[in-house]
Structure 1
Amino acid sequence: MTVIRTLEDLESLFGEVGAPSLQKETDVLHSVYRQWLEAAPFAVLATSGPGGLDASPRGDPAPLVRVTDERTLLLPERRGNNRIDSLRNLLSDPRVGLLFFIPGVNETLRVNGTARILTTPDLLASFAQDGKLPKCVLEITVDTVFFQCGRAMLRSVLWTGPSAAEVPTPGAMLAALTRGEVDGADYDAALPQRQRDTLY
């Protein structure tokens, strides 16, 4: 087994970085990146903390985030399963990474920065959906932003790939993980209505 252990070996494996791959990175939200963010309804948020790493999805009708200036994004935190892994991490390490998706578009947008958790009443009210406020809002200060090329999407055929029917349902996964403690069929039957009732 050959293991890469040095930066020199790693760089020799991949070769030089193409100029466009460096030129696309900025430390502010250029107008073309802002336009992209305003069309994105979905992102994955990555954080790190004493309990380990976390990467979890965020979604809303586009735009998912609000751009307030060339260095600042606001991301509402909606109700979920109350694990709050990302938020726990932010209390000790404010660094975040976000990967934004637009359905049908092969490119993604990467944003790295730092975040703080806000609960200002007027701010929460400005993000109301269906009369429900977010639990809090993440104020993200941008360090770097750049678009990621579409090769991964093209290889994965993400937007035209296998349907949901070809993977285990949430109930089937919970039934297997709990060795039958959770009734998978009952869980799946109740899930659509529960999600509708607790979407916001």
Structure 2
Amino acid sequence: MINFSSMAITSEDALREIAGIPHEHVVKKTISRLDEHCKKFIAMSPLLFLSTSNADGKCDVSPRGDSPSEILILNDHQFVIPDRPGNRRLDSILNMMSNPHIGLVFLIPGLDEVLRINGKATIIKDEEILSKMSLKGKSPLLGIGVDVEECFIHCSRALNKSSVWKPDTWQSKDTLPAMLEIFFDHLKINGIEVKR
């Protein structure tokens, strides 16, 4: 095993000496509310990534996909993400119950920039709110109420360099990992044999 602590950067001064200081525009692009641009971006985004950690600092990032406009924007400072039935692990929900701080990344297919939002989350069960996010006649079981603290557009570098939206750069399907095989092999590592 590699001892990463022997090569660790442990102070902001040391980090800044290597990475430099951000331009004023990069610092000042952060806003503390949802303006019309942020609202439109959220309304057009069918996919977000939700970052959470529990009170002990154990982290998790969870993808959340839905039809665009399924997130309910309540005002300039609050919105609700529907939490529809899933695999019942509830990793994100349990984390938010012990530590409300969250980070979100919203994506729009074909757009290389992303919207980042940081804030505090509350798990809610309010029928009036949840009914406004019904899908095929079913309300979500829960909602994630978000109090916005920071919003900003993140530059296109990561998605642009990855060519994630360019089908001609994608691997052919027969070379991709077989997810069911990975799932069964991971169960086997944990002592569970599944007959196929």
Q: Do the two structures share a fold, i.e. TM-score over 0.5?
A: yes
Distance verdict in 2 for CA 1:68–1:163, change over 3 Å: farther
Alignment of 1:1-200 (within 5 A): 2-50=7-55, 52-160=58-166, 161-163=169-171, 165=173, 166-179=175-188, 181-182=193-194
1:176 CA drift (Å): 1.8
Structure 2 CA distance, aligned partners of 1:7 and 1:143? 23
Distance verdict in 2 for CA 1:76–1:164, change over 3 Å: farther
Identical-pair percentage: 28
Structure 1 CA distance, aligned partners of 2:34 and 2:172? 35
Gaps of 5+ in 2: 1-5
Question: Residue by residue, what CA displacement relative to the aligned partner does 1:124-159 show, whole Å, maximum 9, x if unpaired?
Answer: 221110122211011100000001001001111111
1:170 CA drift (Å): 2.0
TM-score (norm 2): 0.87
Question: Which residue identity does 1:94 align to in structure 2?
Answer: P
TM-score (norm 1): 0.85
Structure 2 CA distance, aligned partners of 1:151 and 1:72? 29
1:24 CA drift (Å): 1.3
Cα-Cα RMSD: 1.8
Please give the secondary structure, in 1, of the residue aligned with 2:131: helix
Higher mean alpha-carbon deviation, 117-126 vs 72-81, is at: 117-126
Question: Residue by residue, what CA displacement relative to the aligned partner does 1:19-52 show, whole Å, maximum 9, x if unpaired?
Answer: 2212210001122222211111110011111462
Structure 1 CA distance, aligned partners of 2:65 and 2:85? 11
1:164 CA drift (Å): 7.0
Q: Is the 8 A contact 2:71 2:133 kept in 1?
A: no
1:94 CA drift (Å): 0.8
Q: Is the 8 A contact 1:40 1:64 kept in 2?
A: no
Structure 2 CA distance, aligned partners of 1:113 and 1:164? 39
1:2 CA drift (Å): 4.3
Q: Is the 8 A contact 1:111 1:143 kept in 2?
A: yes
Structure 1 CA distance, aligned partners of 2:171 and 2:79? 33
Higher mean alpha-carbon deviation, 159-168 vs 72-81, is at: 159-168
Q: Is the 8 A contact 2:72 2:133 kept in 1?
A: no
Gaps of 5+ in 1: 187-200
Please give the secondary structure, in 1, of the residue aligned with 2:74: strand
Structure 1 CA distance, aligned partners of 2:182 and 2:158? 27
Question: Which residue identity does 2:18 align to in structure 1?
Answer: L
